[in-house]
Amino acid sequence: MNIIEKILASHSNQSVVKANDIIDVFIDARAARDFGGANVVKNIIDNGLTVADASRTCFTFDCNPGGSDQKYAANQQYCRLYARENDIAVYDVDAGIGTHIAIDKGLAYPGSTFVSTDSHANIMGAIACFGQGMGDQDIAAAWAKGSVWFKVPESVTLNFKGECPANVSAKDIVLNLLSIFGANKLLGYSVELYGEAIDKLSLDERITIASMATEMGAIILLFTPTPEIIDELERISGKRHQIITADADAVYLNELEIDISKFTTMVAKPGHPHDDTSVESVKGVKIDSAFIGSCTNGRIEDLRIAASILKDRKVAPGVVLKVVPSTDAIWNQALDEGLVKIFKDAGAMLSNAGCAGCAAGQVGQNGPEEVTISSGNRNFEGKQGKGYVYLASPATVAASAISGYITTADDLAIEPALFHKKGNLKTTEAKAKSAKEEKKTEVEGRVWFIKKDDIDTDMIFHNRYLAITDIKEMGQYTFDNLKGYEDFAKKAKAGDILVTTKNFGAGSSRQQAVDCFTSLGVQCIIAESYGAIYERNAINAALPILTYQEGTLESIDLQNGDNIRVNFISGTITNLRNSKTARLNKFYDAQLQIYKNGGLLG
């Protein structure tokens, strides 16, 4: 049998398996990330299942370490609660990338099986472990039953001939392979790599290559461990394992020969990891940002290479370099070796361990039109943000960050490239507002009477929506964090009037907490008092706000749903249900002037 057949046979109570057999595979280690972990738990609970073996089960919170996204934070806490009740290990936001933790702690090892909600779980091929990324239901089944069904894949070998050029890194090797095989020529195959050049690869280099099996469409890229790799695994995990090899008479669908001596330094162009070209062909492309990290290139060797180039140099003016180690242990090793100081002295931003921008995490994403060179494994459109992402080795990323444009370490800029004005963000001539557009100083509308003091800006417009800048999109999120009023935006109608009590709009300076009401067509807000910043924001945005003295609303028997008439100049409020009238604090002169002007900037 070949390597994958030997692993799967040993985990399916069968002496021999062959390609296309359907078997039940026992899983040695079963992980769920913060991305998908909550759904794994939900699947288990909803189907009345329990965890078969907590000692083989774990959560890894690596997509958004720190929980800076509210939905990730909620999912992480949901998983923590389940873990506490079921004695499941949690490698929390301080730990790093789950697949790397599994290797370093010996959860995955040569000849073992590992599954995760991470599509790059086949990174385990670096140590001749069968690793697979699976969906939430698959992982839930593995947690509950201990095994999952699998079809034994066809296997091919890549036999590398020649000497690897000195300037070609492990990342360059896999980008060269992607340029040869694309995203589908190895689709569904288990691929074993052989040759003198392969035997020389370190553990970190094998991890880099194995991590991009998914981008090649392969089930897994498998490396036969050398004695040196076994020694390295023992050093970091404290566990000794045997070398697993294919049988001499193993059967393969195909055996291909690769001349590694012809490999060059490569980049993947924005959009597709397999759209590869030589660095030379894109040298000089101006960049806005650079990223070193991910499960592909966040190991200590990657950081050492980047630091050797950045040492005593500075990141180009205006370019942002983000560095994210793959695990906390590697972060601390980088600190001990002085690499962290080199990164900081160069002007880089160093974040806590995790997947970062590659998984749309808290560090590493880019904005519209932003050009990024990244050591990640994917550059699909929108994957790492809304800009353009080139994939490259840590050496190329570091060299490009210093130069301000894509280049290599042996061709650094003498003077870094600077940004030039393009004139595409000039102030345009504002459309003149029609002089006939008279601002109403008296309005009528239905009342939303919310009798609650200290409604803060997070209750009005939660911070998870703060990236929204289009007022038209803001209304739908109004009050979705105010208990009892989460459906306000769906029920509110244009022309409604909001009435509340003390200190409305306490909290932050976010303008969206004002503009969301404008988005919904709320005509005015009446409160006993306002947060100081909120009051200014509302007046400056020409959203009519008024205040009243204690007892005013009782005098007109105001009830939720009443229709009222409000005059901003006289300050009168009339309950149209009973015709009772009272006095509010009218607009003061500056407020009236700003309101009639259409806002402070009108």
Domain for residue 173, yes or no? no
Model confidence over 190-215: pLDDT tens digits? 999 999 999 999 999 999 999 999 99
CATH number of 375's domain: 3.30.499.10
Average pLDDT for the chain: 94
Say yes or no: 504 and 566 in one domain. yes
Say yes or no: 189 and 309 in one domain. no
The strand pairing partners of 131, in sequence order, are: 114
Domain boundary among 219, 251, 283: 251
* 430 confidence band (pLDDT: 50, 70, 90): low
Please say whether the beta carbons of 101 and 107 come within 8 A. yes
Domain for residue 457, yes or no? yes
Examine the pLDDT at 432 and tell me if it is beyond 60.
no
Say yes or no: 234 and 274 in one domain. no
Query: How many CB atoms within 10 Å of residue 315?
Result: 23
Examine the pLDDT at 139 and tell me if it is beyond 80.
yes
Domain for residue 505, yes or no? yes
| Beta-sheet strands, E only, within 318-466 | 320-323, 349-350, 371-374, 388-391, 442-449
Calpha distance 227→225 (Å, rounded): 7
Examine the pLDDT at 426 and tell me if it is beyond 90.
no
What's residue 133's pLDDT? 92
Examine the pLDDT at 381 and tell me if it is beyond 90.
no
Say yes or no: 377 and 451 in one domain. no
Tokens matching residue 410: 């042996």
Model confidence over 387-409: pLDDT tens digits? 999 999 999 999 999 999 999 99
* 379 confidence band (pLDDT: 50, 70, 90): confident
What's residue 361's pLDDT? 66
Model confidence over 503-560: pLDDT tens digits? 999 998 899 999 999 999 999 999 999 999 999 999 999 999 999 999 999 999 999 9
pLDDT (mean) for 575-600: 96
Say yes or no: 351 and 484 in one domain. no
pLDDT (mean) for 370-383: 89
* 363 confidence band (pLDDT: 50, 70, 90): confident
Say yes or no: 350 and 246 in one domain. no
What's residue 436's pLDDT? 43
What's residue 383's pLDDT? 76
pTM comes to: 0.83
CATH number of 494's domain: 3.20.19.10
pLDDT (mean) for 143-149: 96
Name the least confident of 130-134, 286-290, 427-431, 486-490: 427-431
Domain for residue 193, yes or no? yes
Say yes or no: 296 and 212 in one domain. no
Q: How do strand 22-26 and strand 147-151 relate by DSSP bridges?
A: antiparallel
* 595 confidence band (pLDDT: 50, 70, 90): very high
**Which residue has better confidence, 67 or 230?**
230
Model confidence over 324-359: pLDDT tens digits? 999 999 999 999 999 999 999 999 999 999 988 776
Say yes or no: 202 and 272 in one domain. no
Domain for residue 430, yes or no? no
Tokens matching residue 470: 């289009």
Q: How do strand 371-374 and strand 497-499 relate by DSSP bridges?
A: unpaired
Share of the chain above pLDDT 90, in %: 87
What's residue 343's pLDDT? 98
Say yes or no: 247 and 270 in one domain. no
Domain for residue 387, yes or no? yes
What's residue 482's pLDDT? 96
What's residue 67's pLDDT? 66
Domain boundary among 378, 403, 428: 403
Examine the pLDDT at 434 and tell me if it is beyond 50.
no
Model confidence over 437-489: pLDDT tens digits? 689 999 999 999 999 999 999 999 998 888 898 999 999 999 999 999 999 99
Domain for residue 232, yes or no? yes
Radius of gyration of the CA atoms of the chain, in A: 30
What's residue 36's pLDDT? 87
Tokens matching residue 501: 């009590």
In which domain, by residue range, is 302 found? Answer: 266-403
| Side-chain half-sphere exposure of 191, counting CA atoms within 13 A | 30
The strand pairing partners of 268, in sequence order, are: 276, 391
CA dihedral sign, ordered 449, 450, 455, 459: negative
What's residue 422's pLDDT? 81
Share of the chain above pLDDT 70, in %: 97
Say yes or no: 458 and 332 in one domain. no
Domain boundary among 221, 251, 281: 251
What's residue 360's pLDDT? 65
Say yes or no: 334 and 450 in one domain. no
Say yes or no: 229 and 371 in one domain. no
Please say whether the beta carbons of 199 and 229 come within 8 A. no
User: Domains in the chain: how many in total?
Assistant: 3
Domain for residue 434, yes or no? no
